[in-house]
């Protein structure tokens, strides 16, 4: 398989994000949770607000959940993966 066009689109998107306006991450460390999965693997969860002011976005902070998988390498902990999920809005009450 050949993904050149996809890679170019991704490169362009990352360039646009990095060069066209501020992105502010505000983790709520008071709600940080860390779970040890094994001796050498852990997972952390922290809610955060992300404010984006590029590509026509208004700069309003929106809620996300950041999940990081950690791997112990020797005496150090390294990030194995990072996922940032949007938190959906609470549906309006009916009736």
Q: What tens digit of pLDDT does each residue of 29-58 get?
A: 999 999 999 999 999 999 999 888 776 777
**Which sequence spans correspond to the domains of the chain?**
22-86
Asked if 48 and 31 touch (Cβ cutoff 8 Å), the reply is no
Structure tokens that stand for 74 in this block: 């020797």
Give alpha helix (H) positions in the chain. 4-19
Whether the model clears a pTM of 0.75, i.e. scores above it, the answer is no
21 C-beta neighbours (distance < 10 Å), count: 15
Rounded Cα–Cα distance for residues 95 and 91 (Å) = 12
């Amino acid at each position: 398989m050949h993904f050149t066009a996809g890679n170019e689109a991704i490169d362009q998107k990352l360039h646009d994000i990095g060069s066209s306006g501020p992105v502010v991450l505000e983790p709520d460390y008071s709600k940080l949770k860390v779970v040890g999965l094994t001796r050498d693997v852990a997972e952390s969860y922290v809610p955060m607000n992300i404010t984006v002011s590029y590509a026509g976005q208004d700069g309003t902070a929106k809620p996300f959940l950041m999940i990081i998988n950690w791997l112990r390498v020797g005496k150090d902990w390294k990030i194995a993966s990072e996922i940032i999920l949007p938190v959906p809005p609470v549906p309006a009450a009916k009736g």
